[in-house]
Amino acid sequence: MAVRGEPYAGLNLDDDDDDYYDDPNSNSDHFSNSNPNKRNPEIRVINVFDSISTAKNRSVVRHGQLRYWKSWRQLALVLMGCLVLSLVVVWVYPSAEVQPASKPDGNPADHNDTPVVDNDPNTEHIPDDHIQYPSFAIQHPHFQILNAERIPEYGATSTLYRHLGTHAELLSITWDDPLSHDDEHVFSVTFRTPPADDTGTPHILEHSVLCGSRSYKTKSPFVDLLKGSLQTFLNAMTYPDRTTYVVSSRNGVDFGNLVRVYYDAVFHPRAVLDPNVLLQEGCHVEFDEDSKTDFSDAMKYSGVVFSEMRGVYSSPDSILDRKSYRAVFPDSIYRFDSGGDPAVIPQLTFEEYTAYYHKYYHPSNSRIYFSGNDDVTARLDVSHEYLQEFSLKLESRIASHIEYQPKNIKVPQSLRFPYAADSETSTHYYTLNWLLNDQPLSATQELALIVLDHLLLGTTSSILYKTLLESGLGTSITGGGLGDGLLQFTYSVGLKGVKQENLEKIEALVLTTLEGVKRDGFGAEAIESAVNTVEFQLREFSGGSNPRDVSFMLQTHTKWIYDVPPMEALKFEKPLAELKALLLKAPKSLFTSLVQQYLLSNNHRVSVELYPSSTYEEEQHGDEQKRLRDFAEKLSDSELRTVKQKSMELKTIQSTEDSPDAMATIPTLSITDLNPTNTEYPISVQENYNDEHITYITHELGFTSDTVYINYGVDVESIEFADVPILLLFQMLLMQTGIEGEYTDVELDQQIGIHTGGIRVSLLIESVHQESSPDGLIVAEGDYFTTRLFLRGKSFTRNVDDLTSLMHKILTKANLDSQSKALEILKKKISDMSQDITQSGHRYANSRLKARYSVWQYVNEHVGGITGYQELKKLLALVENDWGSVQQRLLDLRTKILEHRDGTILDVTGDTQVLQTVQSTINNFITTLPGDRKLEPYRRHLDGERPHLWATAARERMEQNTPILNECFVVQTQVQYVGKGGKLYDSKESYSGVVDVIAHFLQTGYYWETIRVLNNAYGAFMVYMPSDGLLNSLSYRDPNLLKTLDAYNNVPEELSRAVQNISSGNKQYVQTLTNAIIGTIGDIDGPGRTPEEKGWIALLRWMKGSTEERRQRYRDDILKTNIQDFLDLASRLANRSNSSDFSVAVVGSNDKCQEAIDAGMDLKLVPIE
C-alpha cells in the first residue's frame, strides 16, 4: 500500500525565495479530501538533522509469534533447533503464488512478470540454468535470488536477494523509465531495533553511528558529506521498532561515495569504541564554566539527543501522541519511547549502549535497499565487500523479533497526565485510543480500514470529524485516526482545547457517533468518494515531504521489517479489486461491520487526558536538579573532579579540528563533477489567450499517468490591505461550506473525492523582480510582490470536466453564510498555530526577522507569523460579536476579486497526450471564468511594473507591529529557538550567489561544531534570501540563548580565520571551500520532482520574473566563489551585524529570556497566549 503520510520535517524553514531553491510545497495547504488531522502518533521518526516526528506508513504484520522461555537450557535447545530450521525455512519467503494469511500478489502478466522464488538456501549458491529468472534478475555468486518480479503499479522491477554468508537481505529496484525519476539513486540499511526501556538507546545510536568509522575517520563524516555532496537526502530515522540509514543522490559518483560511507558507518562505527561519542550525542554532566568548587549546584545535563527530547517533551501535542500510543501497548516493546525520555536518558551506560549495538547492528538483522538506474552488479559487489567480514548471526534476528500486544484490556481504561501551562484554567487535551488487531490482517482488510478511516476522519466533513468539531467541546481534532505503520493497527481520535467540564462528554460523543454509523451506515456517494480518493493516492504516490523514491523505499519497509516480502507493501491492484467486489455485494454492511468489530466491540481502549499544570515545568526542573544532586552525593570530591575533568576533555575533543589525515579519508567530488547549468522545466505562456483576458500556461512533461494538474489563480490585489484577515477566512471557508443551492459541505467533499484527486486553496504571496532589472541580480524593493488566490486540483483526464466545474463553483458560489463554521475554522487555526509556535519556533523567529526589513515579508508574517496569529485572534472576536459585518465583507471581497479577469492565470501540467485530451475542456472552462473582459482593453499584467497596491498600508503596519528591536516570544518550553539577522544588502544593491556558498560553509561547519556539538542545540542554520538582501541565523531546540548569540556574533572572525587558513595553503580548508560550492549546488538542484512539482516550480519562476538567465548567473557566481568573497562578507557582516540592520527574535522560555535581560541584553518580552 502507498505511504499515507510523511515524517514531519521539523527543521523546514519554508523559505520564500524560490528563485534558486525550488520548494514546491511552499504553499502546500492540505488537499480538501485528504485527512486534515493526520498527526500520526504511531511512528515516531527521529532524524539526524530533523526533529522527532511521526510518519503514517503502511504495514503488514508478521505471521506467527515467538514465546518467552523459562530457562536458559530450554532456550539453548530451541535456538539449536531454530538454527537447523533456518537452513530450510526461516530465511525463505513463501512463493508469491501462496501468500500467508491470504496475502495477495500483484497481477502477473507475461512470463517475465511472474515472480520467481528460490526455495533452497541450504548450499553455496551456484546459478542454476534450470531456474528461469526474468531477464532483469541479475545473478551474483555471493547472493541468492529469493524473489524477482515486476511491480506494474509503479513501473518497477524488483529482485530480492539474500547474502549467502550472513543472510542479509537486499532489495534491488530498477525503473522502467529512469528519466521519470530524474535519475535518483537511493540506498538504505535498516535494522530492527526494539527498545527495552526509555533511555533512547536506538535514537542515540542512530546519531552516534554517523560520528566516524573505521575507514572514514573524521568526527562526523555525516556532516562532512553535508558540506560537499550532491546528496538529495542524507539522513537516519529511528522508528519505534527499527532504525533506517538512507542516502540519495542524482550523481552516480556521489552516490557511490555515500553508499560506502554509510556501509562503513553502520558496520564499523567509532561510537562503540569511544565513550565520548555517547557523551556528546546522548547525555553527559556539564559544569558551569565559572564554577570552582560547588559541584552539585553547578551541574547540568547536556547532550544532543537529550536537548532534542527536552524539546519534544515540551510540546503538549507530542506528549499526547506518545501517551496515547503507548497506552494501548502495556506489554509490548511499543510501551517504551525509542526516542528517549529526558528523565531516563542520563541512565544509559556505555556498556548498555555498546551491547545494544552488537546485539542488533549485524548484517543478519539488516535489510538493504537500492533503487535507481545504476549497475545492479555493482550494487551487489559493494554490498558483498562489506558483508563478507561477517558470518551468520541468527540470534540477532531472533532477538529483534517484534511480539504482538494481546488485546487483553477487558475494561476500557483512563489515564491522566500533566502538561506545562500558564495557569490551571488552561484547556485540556483528550484522546480515545484503540488497539485494533492482535493477529495478521489481509491486504484487503488493511485497505478496508484505510477507507473506513477516510470515511470517519478523512475530511472536515467526514462524520466523526465533523461531529466532534461542530460539538464545540474543543477547538481542534487530535489523535490522527488510523495508525497503520507498525506491526499492529491502532485508532486514536480526540479533541484539544477542551474545558474541564466537557471532558466526560467526548467519549460519549465518539461512541454515540460510531453507534450511528453502525446503525445507518455510509451513503453510496460517501463510500465512492473515499474509495476513489484512496485509489488516486495509491496510483499517484507523490512521496509527500520526502523525495518520492525515498518514500518508495520507506514504504517497502512497512512489511519487510516484519518478514513479509517487501514489494507486498506496494501492490494494491488485487486488494483494491477485492474491496470493490465486496462493496458490490454488501455496500452498507462492510464498513458497519468494521466499526462494530474494531471499535464498538473492542474493549482494548484507553482514554488519555492531558491536564494543565502551572507548576509542572518547575517540578520537572526540580526533579532534574534532584537527580543531579543524588548523582553528586554518591561521588567523592575526587570522583566529582574526575567527572568535571571528563566534561572539559569532551569540550576539548569537540573543539579540536580533524587532522589532515582524517579529512583525507572522506571522499570528495570536484567542481568538474557538477552540472554547470540549472535544471529547467518546460513552460509555455500565452497571454490574453483567445482574447479572453486570461494568461494560459502549460507545462508539457514526460509521462504523467493520465493525470492532469490544474492551477487556477485570481489576483487579489484589488482588496484593501485591512481586509487581508477577511481574505484568509474566505480562503479557509471556500472548501468547507458547500455550494449555494447545489451541495452541502458533505456533498461537496464527496464530489471532490468521486471525481478528482483533490482540490486545495492557497494564498500565494511572493516577491517579484522589477522590470528595470530583467537579468541583473539586484535586491528587490519590498514593495514589489504578487498576491494570488489559487485553486489547485488534479484528476484523471476522464474527469477533467468535473474538476474544472468544481473549481469554478468553489470560487464563485461557495456558501459564506455560516457563522458557526467560521468560528470553528478560526478556533482550530488559532489552536494549531499556538502549538506550532512552541514546536517550530525557528520558523516564527525567521518570519519575524524578515518582516522587520521587507514590506512583502511583513505581509507574509501578517498572514502566517506571530502577527498573523494575533490578527486571527482579533478576527475571532469580531466573528463572535459582529458576524453580520464580517459576512458582508466576505461577500464584497468575492465580488471584488472576481470583477476583472486581468491577472487571472490558468496553469495546466501534463504529458503530450494529456494536454491534447483536455484542451477542449480547458477552452470551455476559460469562457466560463468570472470577470468582465469587456470593461477595459486587455492589460498585460506584470507585477514588477509598479509597487503592489497594499505596499503603502503594509509599510505603515510594519513599522507599528514589527519595529526593529530585539524580541523574545515567551512560550511554555524547555528549549529555545534563537534567531538573529537582517539586511545584508540594501534595496537596489547587487547581490551574488557567493553568500549562499558562505552560508553553507558556516552552517555545516562553524555552526554545527559550535552550536550543535559544543553547545548541544539540535540544529542551527544560516538562511540567505538573496532577492531581499536578508541573512538570518537560527537555532532549533536549543538549550541556550546568549551562547548562541555569541556564536552568531563571532561569524566575521570565523570567516577571517578561514581565509587565513585557505591563503596559507591549508589543504583541508581549500577542500572545504570546494565542498561548500559543491554542497550549495546540490542544495539548489535538489531531489527528483513529481510532475505536479515541476509544473508549480516553473509557474512560480515565471510569476516572480525569475528568468533562466538570472538563475544561471546566480549559479555561475556560486561556481566562481573565492577567498576574497569570504573577506568581503566578513567585512560586511562586521559592519552590519551589530547595527540596526540586524536584530534578534527568540521563541523561548521566560527564564532564559529573563536571564538574558539580567545579563544586560536589550530584549522585549512578548507573551504568546
* Cell numbers placing 219: 568526527
Task: Mark whether 206 is an active-site residue.
Answer: yes
Task: Tell the residue number behind the cell numbers 470560487, with chain if given.
Answer: 811
1164-1167 and 967-970: which strand pairing? parallel
What CA–CA distances, in Å, run from 940 to 257, 943, 1029? Answer: 50, 10, 28
On whether the CB atoms of residues 982 and 1031 are closer than 8 A, the answer is yes
Please list, residue by residue across 893-917, b when 16 or more beta carbons sit within 10 angstroms of its beta carbon and e when fewer do. bbeebbebbbbbbbbbbbbeebbeb
Edge-to-edge strand list for the sheet holding 44-47: 52-54, 44-47, 231-238, 242-249, 185-192, 366-371, 169-175, 156-163, 143-151
Query: Please, what is the Cα angle at 349 between 347 and 354, to 5 degrees?
Result: 140
Element (H, E) at 855: helix 855-864
Q: Cα 673 vs. chain centroid, distance in angstroms?
A: 30
Task: Mark whether 1009 is an active-site residue.
Answer: no
On whether the CB atoms of residues 333 and 241 are closer than 8 A, the answer is yes
Nearest Cα neighbor of 686 from 514, 472, 907, 872 is 907
Bridge partners (DSSP) listed for residue 788: 715, 764
* Cell numbers placing 342: 529526558
Nearest Cα neighbor of 559 from 1, 1132, 1118 is 1
Residue 192 main-chain phi, psi, to 5 deg: -75, 120
Overall residue count recorded for the chain in this entry: 1169
44-47 and 231-238: which strand pairing? antiparallel
* Cell numbers placing 952: 503603502
Nearest Cα neighbor of 527 from 469, 589, 599 is 589
Q: Cα 330 vs. chain centroid, distance in angstroms?
A: 29
Rounded-to-integer distance, Cα 549 and Cα 554, Å:
9
On whether the CB atoms of residues 366 and 169 are closer than 8 A, the answer is yes
By the 10 Å C-beta count (0-12 exposed, 13-18 middle, 19+ buried), 401 is classed as middle
On whether the CB atoms of residues 973 and 1153 are closer than 8 A, the answer is no
On whether the CB atoms of residues 1066 and 1045 are closer than 8 A, the answer is no
On whether the CB atoms of residues 957 and 855 are closer than 8 A, the answer is no
Q: Choose, from 6, 153, 184, 206, the residue flagged as catalytic.
A: 206
Output DSSP code: residue 566. Answer: G
Rounded-to-integer distance, Cα 533 and Cα 752, Å:
9
What CA–CA distances, in Å, run from 506 to 215, 286, 502, 1033? Answer: 57, 46, 7, 44
What CA–CA distances, in Å, run from 952 to 364, 858, 947? Answer: 66, 12, 9
Neighbouring C-alpha atoms within 13 Å toward the C-beta of 908: 29
Rounded-to-integer distance, Cα 438 and Cα 65, Å:
11
On whether the CB atoms of residues 434 and 599 are closer than 8 A, the answer is yes
Q: Choose, from 281, 446, 692, 1054, the residue flagged as catalytic.
A: 281
Task: Tell the residue number behind the cell numbers 550567489, with chain if given.
Answer: 993
Rounded-to-integer distance, Cα 734 and Cα 897, Å:
14
Q: Is 1074 helix (H, G, I), strand (E, B) or coil?
A: helix
Please list, residue by residue across 285-324, b when 16 or more beta carbons sit within 10 angstroms of its beta carbon and e when fewer do. bbbeeeeeeebeebbebbbbbbbbbbbbbbbbbbbbbbbb
Q: Is 1104 helix (H, G, I), strand (E, B) or coil?
A: coil
* Cell numbers placing 496: 484539544
What CA–CA distances, in Å, run from 160 to 118, 138, 148, 163, 370? Answer: 10, 10, 6, 10, 10
Q: Which residues are the active-site residues?
A: 206, 281
